[in-house]
Amino acid sequence: MTRQERANYIASRLETLYPNVPVPLDHSSHYTLLIAVLLSAQCTDERVNKVTPVLFKKADTPSKMIKLSKEDIYLIIRPCGLAPKKSSAIYELSKTLIEKHNSQVPENFEDLEKLPGVGHKTASVVMSQGFGHPAFPVDTHIHRLAQRWGLSKGKNVQQTEKDLKKVFPRDKWNRLHLQIIFYGREYCSARGCNGTVCEICKTLYPNRKKPFVTNKA
């Protein structure tokens, strides 16, 4: 198979497996989605979804959030990784939204990525899952699968994102991002599949015998 043929098969198979792909992070607004995505870095969505109801009950808008102290925020989000850094980012970005964006989450990459604690991946999730703009957020899991499936040889998530955008139609980026995440968790996890176990890996590379070694992001 060529790279494009592999991409076409993957898109078709994932659409069959996951015709409905809910956003895995619970949220009720662009702001709460932004906070949830920020918290999800180095933390499972399941854990984030246990923490955010407590946080959002106290503060689900920027103005309510800055009424809490950074220590207050930290004590709530402590179960998530990097809690000290994230609590500071949540407070500071809430303050920035009030001062520069009329308390609204900006609907463009440039302004989103200027917010404290918000990188390109977080901005991409908000743009795609929040605002519905085509984006292809790439985390370490998608980076791993893209390499296992021969869609990218990128040595970092930035190159992998560029490679995936070339082989998948723009109007399918948002769905595919979620579909790949769901498939990776269910069938092609870091430990559960080494490139020779799951259905897609075996279909794409039936003659692969040795575990596939991924370039780390």
For residue 210, tell me if it sits in a domain: no
CB-based contact 2:164 (threshold 8 Å): no
CA 31: distance to chain centroid? 16
Match 């869609």 to its residue by tokens: 151
Q: What is the pLDDT of residue 213?
A: 87
User: CA angle, corner 194, sides to 191 and 198, nearest 5?
Assistant: 95
pTM assigned to the model:
0.91
Options 85, 86, 121, 163, the catalytic residue: 121
**54 and 144 co-located in one domain:** no
Q: In tens digits, what is the pLDDT along the chain, a chain of 217 residues?
A: 999 999 999 999 999 999 999 999 999 999 999 999 999 998 999 999 999 999 999 999 999 999 999 999 999 999 998 999 999 999 999 999 999 999 999 999 999 999 999 999 999 999 999 999 999 999 888 999 999 999 999 889 999 999 999 999 999 999 999 999 999 999 999 889 999 999 999 999 999 999 998 887 6
Q: What is the pLDDT of residues 51-63, one digit of tens each?
A: 999 999 999 999 9
Say if residue 122 is in the same domain as residue 41: yes
- The candidate with the shortest Cα–Cα distance to 140, out of 178, 181, 169, 201, is 181
Check: CB of residue 17 under 8 Å from CB of residue 183: yes
> Which domain-ending residue is among 130, 161, 195?
130
Using CA atoms, how far apart are residues 21 and 23, in angstroms rounded to an integer?
7
- What is the residue range of 77's domain? 30-130
Q: Are residues 97 and 167 in the same domain?
A: no
CA–CA distances in Å: residue 87 to residues 42, 114, 130, 170: 14, 17, 22, 34
Closest CA to 139 of 117, 126, 124: 124
Catalytic status, residue 111: no
Q: Are 31 and 96 in contact (CB under 8 A)?
A: no
121 and 171 in a single domain? The answer is no
Instruction: Mark whether 64 is an active-site residue.
Output: no
Catalytic residue among 26, 100, 139, 209: 139
